[in-house]
Structures are given as structure tokens and as C-alpha cells.
A and B are shown apart, each in its own frame.
Chain A
Amino acid sequence: MSLPSSSESVAANVLVVEDDRRVTDGLVCGLTEAGFSVRAEASIKAAREAIAEAKPRLVILDLGLPDGNGLTFLRELRRFGESLPVIVLTARDSVEDRVEGLDEGADDYLVKPFSFPELLARVRARLRNVRVSGTEILRVADLEINRLNRSVKRAGVNIELTSKEFDVLAFIAQSAGHPVSRDMLTREVWKLNNRVALMDNVIDVHISRLREKIDHGHERKLIRTIRGVGFVLDASEA
């Protein structure tokens, strides 16, 4: 994986400001594969130029940068009335930091080590700018998820799900072929902030029940586990 050189005149729609090269490499590679054009900078000074030059549509900003605190830069961005969405990355996770980050105008806040699927989901959500609620009926192959009346059909047959099972399924379906990590499920479905290790049991049980109800008896298995990453609902693989 190689960084796009900063002299390239591609209109980057995502700017990554992070000084750790490994993290940057991973982000650039992942985001590029997800279809974004990415520019990466390792300092506030360079980021300032990049914003003026490349007019990114979203910034992923690490807080610990060599030439200053990312929060100061964020404040600077906001003072000039930039409505540019900013997702803040940090290795510090105290509530105060989080509050401060959001106060300074961060649109979102991820604590290292975040999971890449989660970051990707947040980037998409920010760029889409509108909630996905527009689609009330999600379809994956012959599976139909109706979020309005919370019903699920597979091949036209109604499937009874518990409320949580429905939430899990709808959440995975909504990310449209992109994997959903356990962290994301914990936060978005169970609304728990810190994923305690023991949520694994709870999540596994829900997934295995969903499998039983959705995929059992069907040749095409829709719920797929990507070991070490998370779960994905897709029709691409049998």
C-alpha cells in the first residue's frame, strides 16, 4: 500500500491527519478500497494546506500530532466556520476528553484501537449526511427486512424475531455488505458505551439464533462471520 503523494492533484474527499505511519497506511488502504480518494498528512501545518488545496469532504483527525494538539486545529477550523465534518481519533478515552472533543466541534469521536469497519461506517454516515432512515425496507437476496413494522420475511415467509434479534439483523443489513464489528453492535444495538469482554457471549447467542431463524433450511446462507472482524449480511457467497 502506498500513500498518494501530496502533490497529486486528485480532489481528495477524505483527509487523514495522523502522524503514526502504520495507522495512516491502514486507513488509507482501507478507505481507498472502500472507494474514497484519500489524502494523508502527518502534521497540522500540512493539514492546513491540504484543506485549502484539496477541499476534502471529511477529515479524520488524530489528536496527538507533532506540531500541536489536534483540538487546537479543530477549534481553528471551526472558528473559520468550516462545516467540514471531522471525525476525531484519540488514544485517550476519559469522558472529559470526549466531551471536550465534541465541544470543539468534532462530529464524531473514536477511541484507539477502533475497529476499521466502525470507522468506515462513521465516515459513510457523515458523508451521506442524512440518516439512512429513508429506506424502510431493506432487501438482501430473498430476505426482506421491514423497519416500519419490524417484520422479517425470507422467501416470502414471515420470520418471528425477538426485538433484539430484529435490531441486530437490521443493523447488520443496513451496513450493506460491509462487516459490522462486535464493538459496533455493542454500541449501536445494545447502547452500551464500553464493550466489556463478556458481551461476546451475548452477541454470539443472538447471531446463532438469527442464523437458526434466517438461514436454517436455506441453501444460501446470508449471515456470514468474518472471524476476528465481525459479521456481514451478504448474498455474494453461497
Chain B
Amino acid sequence: MKKTSLQRRLFTYLVVILVVFILVQLGIYTWVEYRGWIEHPAEPFSVELEEVEAALVLNIVLLPVVLLLAWGASHRMLDPVRSIADTAQRIGDGDFDERIDTNAMADDEMHRLADTINAAFDRYDSAVQRLKRFVGDASHQLRTPLAAIRTMGEVAASRNRSAEEYRDAISDMLQELDRLRGVIEQLLALSRLEHGALRGRFRTINASDVVTGVASLYSPVCEENGIAFEQRADAGLQVNGIRELLTEMLANLVDNAVRHTPRSGSIRVGAQRRDNAIVLFVQDSGPGIPADMAERIFERFFQIPGSTGGGAGLGLALSREIAALHGGTLTLINPGQKGALFEARFPAYRPPAAPTGAASPDRARSSSS
């Protein structure tokens, strides 16, 4: 009966106030009569007494009505509370689509409370949805290599084979194991990033160093794949962060670019200042990313349908998380267009005093090859 205790209390307060009010009224009447009788003892006061009596009677007759009204008012005032509690109960029971109906509510504190709670439920709901999808995808990505390893082992062990065959089987298993380890490492990296504790290791780093580092890793890879690699980093761009992570982010983007760029294509990697932000970008000359996938590619385990090879689909999710850790954003600038352009934007470490090589305006968003 917890549900009514607040209402009872409210009602009790109203009743007490009412009774006190009646008593004060009576007191005043009595006082007035008493004073009149003192001053004019001879005067009969029957008439006035009758008036007092009438007033009293009226009060007593009206009392139940007033009490009823007080009960009703307290009940009504607590309507939103009941509604919130009921809705919360239903959501708690598993009906995540339920929300508190605020249409009927006045624009008051209760409305604000309900809005706050609804917003919290929204966040909770989307987190639950994401978690569900994540668990499903993760179990797939973890179980598939495990299944492969198991099958290979079982088949290899099921009959006598030559040393050569055993070695082959073991090698296959090791490679699959490595894939599995990759997924696990990436998942752990993601949860570490979400934690945010890494911020304690931030240093001031040069954006151009990050670009140069990634370029030295990937220009041989591009060369080998017949892809022209262009690197363009303005000097003196400073970001507060962890160099290894930013390198990993950019390397992820370049690795994707290499996989989606045909021979004799090109990849551009660079860093530049734009307004108060430092932008790291990677652009390839591949087919681009369909518009309806511009956001989904950042989801964990998302793979563009029909794409072959590559990892578990965690690279971009990781990259975005790295950008977020650094207070930045990572977005696909030109969905649906040829030559995917990814930009990571970070707050510049220093206010733009005198930027060397001012942001080149020629790098228009539509640039593609």
C-alpha cells in the first residue's frame, strides 16, 4: 500500500490545515462575542449567537464536502506520480517500449520529472538494443573461428596422416586461432577505450608525426598494390592524446582504403588545421560507401554486404572510439560518392595563433578522383 501513503499524508495535511482554520474561526467568533458581552452586558446576544451557530452548522455541514474535495485534490496531484511508477514498473518488467504519457500533464515539476525519466529510459533502451546486437555479433565472431579450429582438429585427429598433413592442419588451426585472438584483442581494446581511463596517458603530440608514422607503414603496402600514396601534413599541428592510438586509428582507415582501392588507384592521407580543429583525413579512389551505410559502418561487427576478407568489422568502431576518447569525431564525409573520404576532427591543442601553411581551402569536400 505504499502507493497511497503519500496521498494519505497529503490528505492529512489538508485536513489538519482545515481543522486549524475552523478552530481559529471559532476562536475569533468567541472572542468577538465575549468582548461584546463585556462591554454591553445588558444587551441580549441571542441574535448574534444564532449567527455564530449558523456559521458553525454551515462549517460542519460543509466539512465532509471539503474533506472529499481535499481527498480528490490530493489524489489528482499524485496522478503523475502513480503514472510514472506504473510505467517504470512495466519497463522494469521488460516492456522497453513503454514511456510515461506526458500529454495530459501540466507544464510543471512533474512534467519535467517525467521527461527526465523518459529520456533516461530512452538511453537505457538503446543501450540494451546495442548490447543485444553486440552480444549476438560477438558470439558469432568468436564462435565461428572456434568452430573452424575444432573441426580442423577433429578431422586431422580422426585418422592417421602424414607428418606433412598434420603440419598443414596445425598451421591452419594456428591461423584461425590468430583470427580469434584478433577479435578478442579488439573487443578488449574497445572496452578499455570506453572506460576513458586512458586519458591519464595523454601527451601533446604532433599530428604530422602520426601521419608520417602511418605513411611509413603503408607506403610500401600501397606501392606493392600499385596504389599511389600521397601524404600531406601541415607542420605544427598539435593534439592532446596518445600517439599509438591515433596511429592505430589512422592506420585502420588506411588499411581499409588499401583494401577498397583498385590497382593504379590512389590514397591520400593528411593532417591540417581547420578553424579550431585539427583534421586527420584519409581518402581513397575506390567505389565509396553507399549512403545508407554511412553510419552503420561504424557499428561493431558491421561488414558491408558482399565485402570479402578483412577483419571482424571492428576496425572502424575502434577508430571512432579512439576519436571519441580524444574528444573528437570520426565521420565519413561523402557517403554515396566515389572515393570514400574519412575525417577525424580533434580540438587543436593550442589556439590558432599563427598557423603555418594555413588550411588549404582547395581541399573541397567534393574532391574525388
Contact = CB atoms under 8 A, between A and B. Distances in A.
A94 to B, nearest CB: 8
A202 B220 contact: yes
B181 A205 contact: no
A178 B177 CA distance: 21
A94 B198 CA distance: 10
Main secondary structure of the interface of A (DSSP, over half): loop
B311 A228 contact: no
Contact of A197 (B172, B201, B311): B311
A113 B181 contact: yes
B315 A229 contact: no
Interface in B216-239: 216-218, 220-221, 224
User: Interface size class for chain B?
Assistant: 20 to 34
Nearest to B224: A205
Contacts of B251: 196, 198
B248 interface: yes
A190 B247 CA distance: 13
B244 A201 contact: no
Nearest to A228: B174
Contacts of B224: 205, 208-209
Interface string A205-228: 110110000000000000000111
Interface residues of A, number: 24
Contacts, number: 59
A198 B173 contact: no
Interface string B206-224: 0000000000111011001
Given A194-B244, A196-B252, A198-B251, A228 B172 contact: yes
Contacts of A113: 181
A192 interface: yes
Nearest to A182: B178
A95 interface: yes
Contacts of B181: 113
B335 interface: no
A227 B255 contact: no
B222 to A, nearest CB: 9
B156 interface: no
Contacts of B182: 197
Contacts of B173: 228
B73 interface: no
Among B170, B178, B189, B248, the most chain A Cβ lie within 10 Å of the Cβ of B178
A193 interface: yes
Interface in A92-123: 93-95, 113
B171 to A, nearest CB: 4
Nearest to A196: B248
Contact of B217 (A190, A193, A226): A190
Nearest to B248: A196
B47 to A, nearest CB: 92
- Tell me which of B189, B192, B224, B258 has the highest count of chain A C-beta atoms within 10 A of its own C-beta: B224
Given A194-B189, A202-B218, 8 more contacts: A164-B216, A164-B220, A190-B217, A192-B247, A197-B315, A205-B220, A226-B171, A228-B174
8 contacts: A95-B201, A113-B181, A190-B217, A196-B248, A197-B311, A199-B217, A201-B258, A228-B170
A-B CB proximity, top 8 nearest: A228-B174, A227-B171, A228-B171, A198-B255, A197-B182, A205-B224, A228-B175, A205-B221
